[in-house]
Structures are given as structure tokens and as C-alpha cells.
């Protein structure tokens, strides 16, 4: 894993991707710090973190992840990786840790902002730094999603757009949930569609229509059967699920001054799930 990590870090710092990410993050952080803290004479940097979190993720994260595996697949250099005496987990985690290390650079610089602001007013350092920590974990979870998307496609642009769409959708989940029907039928329909999406993801990972269709069919059959057996369970399920899987909503808890351990576990779990899916995707390709 160490060899992959070092190679990937060198690749980042010899390309424009990392520097474009740095420029975007510093620009966004500067604009929001000026607007919220300096112009308003406020020491609440945690509010700056909350407000800039979306743009700090939807733009830089796709830049960091779009080439991780998609470019390897396009240039067929992934075959060289598979021929090395390395486990797939070592390859995935080496590349992932390189990406979150690159992300750590601007986050570390931005962490100095509360110190500077403290010279001009009162700053709640505990809330500021817990918010920054939560933002970094959230971005790391989104990077894991981007790594997974990159493992499914060969085109960098497609990988970047796919990652941006997922981040965009996750950010607006609470707003969508407020308009979602809480009826049992609507919840069942939503879950059936989710089953079809899972089947599509399985197809993309395996390149096998039968496996993809079978996966979707089994999931949807089980959901329909459970719906008829336990209809009450589906009441209000969709809005509840949408709110519970929003990464950005978890950040707001930290911004509110509460160090939420369940939020930390949630971010780590999301990252773990998508890295696991990435390993499975590459394993299937490795032995194909």
C-alpha cells in the first residue's frame, strides 16, 4: 500500500489537479471568510465552514477523484497494477489515502483562520475545530464515493460529473425529503426504484446483465413481499431515510456546538462502504 500511496502522491503534485483543488478551496474559503467573519465582524468561523462546505466539496472532490481509476482503465495501465504483487485493498487504500492527504493540505491551512480571527474578536475554538474536523471527515467520505465512481467508468469527465451529481443530490436530500410523500405506497415505490439502481450498479461492477437483473429482481421481490406483510413500516420511511443519509446535515450538528460521535462513525462507515464497493469492482475486473 505504501508504494501505491507514494506513487499516487507524486502523481498528484506533478499534475494540475491538486493545485486546481487548492486554488478552488482557498478561493471559496477566502470569499466566505470575508463575507461572514470580516465584513460582519463575527468570530463564528464554524458558520463559515457550514456555508462553504457544499462548494468546498462539489468542485474540488471531483477534481481529486476523477482520474484515480478511470484514467488507468482508459490507458490500460490498470493491467500493470493488477500484475503487481499487491492486494486490491492495498491499491484502493493507497490511492484513497493519497487523495485525502492532498485534501488535508488546504484544510490544514484553513485551520489557521480561527487563530487569525481570534486576534480581532472572540472565537469558540472547540466548535470551530470540531466543525473543521467534521468537514474533513465528510469530504473524505465523499472522496470515497468519487473513488468508487472512478472505478466504474473509463472517462475522467464522466467520473467527475458523476461524483458532482452525487454530492449535489446528497446536499439537497433534506430539501427533497420535505416534499417527499410520507405514504406507504410512495415509500415502497421509492425503494423498488432503489433496488433497480442497485441492480444497475451491480451490472456496472460485473458487466453481467443476468447478475444485475437478478439482483434487482430479488431486492424488489423481497421489498414488495415485505410491503404486503408490514405495510405500516413504510409510513414516512422515505423522508426519514433521506434525512438520515445526508452527510451535510450531520455537519450542522458539529456547527451547532455538539461533537457528535455518531456523526463521526457515520462518515467513517460511508467511506468504508464505498471503498469496499471499489475493491469489489476492481476484483471483478482483475479476474475478468
Break the chain into its structural domains and give their ranges.
2-173+246-286, 183-235
Find the range with the poorest average confidence among 64-78, 119-133, 163-177, 252-266. Answer: 64-78
pLDDT in tens, 185-198: 777 787 888 888 88
Higher pLDDT, 107 or 76: 107
**pLDDT for the residue numbered 67:** 83
Instruction: For 24-58, write each residue's pLDDT tens digit.
Output: 899 999 999 999 988 887 878 999 999 999 999 99
* pLDDT at residue 213 in the model: 85
Q: Mean pLDDT over all residues of the chain?
A: 85
pTM of the model as a whole: 0.86
Own/partner contacts of 43-46, CB < 8 Å, gap of 24 or more, are 43/114, 43/117, 43/118, 43/120, 43/121, 43/122, 43/123, 43/124, 44/124, 45/113, 45/114, 45/117, 45/123, 45/128, 45/131, 46/124, 46/127, 46/128, 46/130, 46/131, 46/254, 46/255, 46/257
* pLDDT of 266 strictly over 90: yes
Give the C-alpha separation, 135 to 10, whole Å: 25
Amino acid at each position: 500500500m505504501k508504494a501505491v500511496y507514494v506513487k499516487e502522491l507524486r502523481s498528484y503534485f506533478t499534475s494540475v489537479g491538486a493545485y486546481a483543488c487548492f486554488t478552488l478551496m482557498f478561493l471559496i474559503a477566502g470569499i466566505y471568510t470575508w463575507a461572514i467573519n470580516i465584513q460582519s465582524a463575527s468570530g463564528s468561523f464554524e458558520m463559515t465552514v457550514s456555508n462553504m462546505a457544499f462548494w468546498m466539496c462539489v468542485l474540488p472532490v471531483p477534481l481529486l477523484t476523477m482520474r484515480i481509476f478511470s484514467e488507468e482503465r482508459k490507458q490500460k495501465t490498470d493491467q500493470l497494477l493488477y500484475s503487481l504483487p499487491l492486494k486490491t485493498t492495498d491499491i484502493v487504500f493507497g490511492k484513497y489515502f493519497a487523495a485525502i492527504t492532498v485534501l488535508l493540505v488546504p484544510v490544514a491551512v484553513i485551520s489557521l483562520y480561527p487563530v487569525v480571527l481570534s486576534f480581532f474578536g472572540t472565537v469558540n475554538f472547540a466548535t470551530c475545530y470540531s466543525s473543521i474536523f467534521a468537514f474533513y471527515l465528510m469530504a473524505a467520505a465523499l472522496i470515497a464515493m468519487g473513488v468508487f465512481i472512478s472505478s466504474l467508468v473509463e472517462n475522467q469527465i464522466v467520473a467527475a460529473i458523476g461524483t458532482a451529481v452525487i454530492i449535489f443530490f446528497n446536499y439537497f436530500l433534506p430539501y427533497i425529503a420535505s416534499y417527499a410523500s410520507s405514504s406507504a405506497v410512495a415509500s415502497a415505490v421509492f425503494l423498488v426504484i432503489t433496488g433497480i439502481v442497485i441492480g444497475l450498479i451491480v451490472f456496472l461492477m460485473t458487466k453481467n446483465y443476468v447478475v444485475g437483473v437478478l439482483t434487482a429482481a430479488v431486492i424488489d421481490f423481497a421489498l414488495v413481499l415485505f410491503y404486503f406483510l408490514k405495510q405500516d413500516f413504510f409510513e414516512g420511511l422515505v423522508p426519514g431515510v433521506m434525512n438520515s443519509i445526508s452527510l451535510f446535515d450531520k455537519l450542522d450538528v458539529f456547527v451547532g456546538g455538539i461533537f457528535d460521535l455518531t456523526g463521526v462513525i457515520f462518515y467513517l462507515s460511508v467511506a468504508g462502504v464505498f471503498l469496499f464497493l471499489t475493491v469489489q469492482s476492481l476484483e471483478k475486473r482483475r479476474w475478468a
